[in-house]
Amino acid sequence: MSDEFYIKRCLELAELGMGKVSPNPMVGCVIVVDDKIIGEGYHQQYGQAHAEPNAIKSVFDQHPENAEQLLKQATVYVNLEPCAHFGKTPPCADLLVRHQVKRVVIGNTDPFSAVDGKGIEKLNNTGISVTTGILAEECSFFNRRFFTRVQKQRPYVVLKWAQTANGYFAAKDGHQKWISGSLAKRLAHKWRTEEDATLIGKQTAIIDNPQLTAREWAGKNPIRLVIDKNLAIPPGNHLFNKEAKTIIFNEIKTDVEEHIHYIQMEDMQYYLPQKIMFQLYLMDIQSVIIEGGAQILKQFLDAELWDECRIFTSANSWTDGIAAPTINGTLQEQIALDSDKLSIYINKLK
């Protein structure tokens, strides 16, 4: 099997950590001797063991009598450079050195300054053969949330909305009017389990009274982010329930009331997307879905502060309504979902 084959397997394993390891990257590890996989592992939970120690443990579990000898003959595949620093866990590069593995094949070098080439240097200095850049583009896109946070000092931003076939986003009369179907709703709940947070504005909170939880998909609820300048959302709103942590950006107060966190900001009419993204970066929030309303989405679009846009387009048309935002991005994929169509755009200009 080729190096590419085993790196792809690393990505398959790494994806099992989606929604559980942020702000760490998703990493998988495959250990091979004579074209046979003898151990696998992935980073399962933030603060717990990384992919490499989990994979090495699986070697000892499956081959208790000769694990040490097998590791000395092994090629270790990992989609991201083994860490070289003490964080919540010991350095993975040191672990590979201790077991005297023969070769290490890496998808991406780690952009984090405490690693960035240092793991590779440790391996090289002890005579371990290192190959890098295998499926590098695929690996970096896979960990795009982590790369964006480290390289741009902000979260990875996903815009999401539904629109009618003739481009309407919401009803003009201020009442909630559902556009997309049940399959689209379930997929949107799945997305919430994959990202750290989801953000809406005051009007969406008042009109739709959303819960912003992942009720229709197994997984964690995202942190709920709300822009409410004057704290006008009524206290009975679903966002104040105890289903998830809620952060309210406002101009009045900074306070913590159980699971509700108020963060005061000055002059919210100026550079609001930039201010919020920097605040989220400081809070180790690595990714956010922006679900509305139209004005909030437009602010992020105008500021070019977005990375990915997911649009559900219904087969139905309305006679009037509020026009959906205009997207200027590169169409990456289109998917049929019953009578709806999902279009995914990537911001190539960011």
Annotated binding-site residue? 164: no
309 carries a ligand binding annotation:
no
State how far the Cα of 174 lies from the Cα of 194, in Å rounded to an integer. Answer: 30
**Does the annotation place 192 within a ligand binding site?**
yes
CA distances from 327 to 148, 229, 320 (A): 21, 26, 20
Sign of the four-CA dihedral 312, 317, 321, 327: positive
Where would I find the beta strands (DSSP E) of the chain?
28-33, 36-42, 75-80, 103-108, 129-131, 156-163, 168-170, 197-201, 223-227, 246-250, 255-257, 260-264, 287-292, 308-313, 322-323, 330-337, 340-346
Helix (H, G, I), strand (E, B) or coil at 61: helix
* 89 labeled part of a ligand binding site: no
Q: Answer yes or no: is 83 a known binding residue.
A: yes
Give the whole-angstrom CA distance, residue 105 versus residue 5. Answer: 12
Question: Is 204 marked as a binding-site residue?
Answer: yes
Q: How many Å apart are CA 149 and CA 147, to the nearest integer?
A: 6
Give the span between the Cα atoms of 90 and 67, in whole angstroms: 21
Place of tokens 């942020």: 22
**Which amino acid is located at 309 in the chain?**
C
The amino acid sitting at 306 is W
The answer to whether the annotation marks 92 as part of a ligand binding site is yes
| Helices 294-302 and 272-282: angle between axes, nearest 10 degrees | 90
For tokens 């090495």, the residue is 56
Asked if residue 98 belongs to a known ligand binding site, the reply is no
Is 162 annotated to bind a ligand? Reply is: yes
d(CA 91, CA 111): 16
Candidate list 52, 81, 194, 195, residue with the active-site label: 52
**Placement of tokens 């695929």 in the chain:** 138
Q: Distance (Å, rounded) from C-alpha 79 to C-alpha 140? A: 9
Whether 212 has a binding-site annotation, put simply, is: yes
| Residues whose CB falls within 8 Å of the CB of residue 302, separated by 6 or more in sequence, listed in order | none
Q: Would residue 68 show up in a list of annotated catalytic residues for this protein?
A: no
Q: Annotated binding site for substrate, which residues?
A: 192, 212, 215, 291
Q: Which residues are catalytic?
A: 52
Q: Annotated binding site for NADP(+), which residues?
A: 162, 178, 204, 208
Q: Annotated binding site for Zn(2+), which residues?
A: 50, 83, 92
Q: Annotated binding site, which residues?
A: 50, 83, 92, 162, 178, 192, 204, 208, 212, 215, 291
